[in-house]
Amino acid sequence: MVLGKFWYRMQQKMTKSNTLCTVTLLLMAIQAEAQSAADDLGQRLINDFVNKVITLEGNFEQSLIDAEGSIIDRSSGTLEIERPKRFRWSYADPYEQWLVADGLNIWSYDLDLEQVTVKPQADALANTPALLLGGSDRALEQFDYGGTTVEKVTTWVRLEPKDKSSGFNRVELGFINEQLRRMIFYDNLEQTTLIALDQVRINEPIDDERFRFVVPPDVDLVGTPVVAEATTP
């Protein structure tokens, strides 16, 4: 009688253990399938953004967050992109500054200081998050895919630069309704830049003049711009 109860209890424990293992394996399979689906979605979103979005316009709000999580700087303005290789960031608050990429050079114009700094675009953008925004369709070749997570209505796609000396250790792009709405840049100084986009317009014509920069008179110029090579007819 005692032996019979012992075997009965052992069978109950084994049944519970088997059930628990089955449930655990089932949950793991569901999680793996969900992560695979998220990765497929994330890679499609980032590929579509780089390859199918030719122009993008919108407003932005930018926050710089230190290693302790405190906001140390806020700014806002407008963003315009035309692929390949042209974009314009126009900061309006707290001070006016233009950042214009014309395909050869990047011009940084501080209106308060009346100073323009110019750098060759290819050197300035290499392995940086800006390459994903205004670069060519080969921009993704300089980044490794780091995974996708879905947070409520936002799909976050993580990318890591192959060149670890770029100043950034990872970038996260947030898509809402399959359109880019958030960007987070993590730099090597443990600071985080968060950019939120609003009133975004995709693939609408943008005036070429928005991507041309002429140094204003009586403004100091720092650096030497790259000049386009002449082509023979």
Those residues with Cβ within 8 angstroms of residue 28's Cβ, 6 or more apart along the chain or in another chain: none
3-state secondary structure of 153: coil
Tokens coding 160: 């890591």
Q: What is the pTM of this model?
A: 0.79
User: What's the CATH number for 54-222?
Assistant: 2.50.20.10
User: Rounded to whole angstroms, how far apart are CA atoms 156 and 147?
Assistant: 8
Q: Which helix (H) or strand (E) holds 17?
A: helix 2-52
Predicted confidence (pLDDT) per residue in 40-84, tens digit: 899 999 989 988 999 999 999 999 999 888 999 999 999 999 988
Predicted confidence (pLDDT) per residue in 83-135, tens digit: 888 999 999 999 999 999 998 999 999 999 999 999 998 777 766 777 777 76
Alpha-carbon distances, residue 1 vs 5, 13, 42, 50, 76 (angstroms): 6, 19, 61, 73, 80
- Going by the DSSP 8-state scheme, the letter that residue 231 receives in this structure is -
Domain ranges (residues) in the chain: 54-222
Provide DSSP, 78-117: EEEEETTTEEEEEEEESS-EEEEE-SSEEEEEETTTTEEE
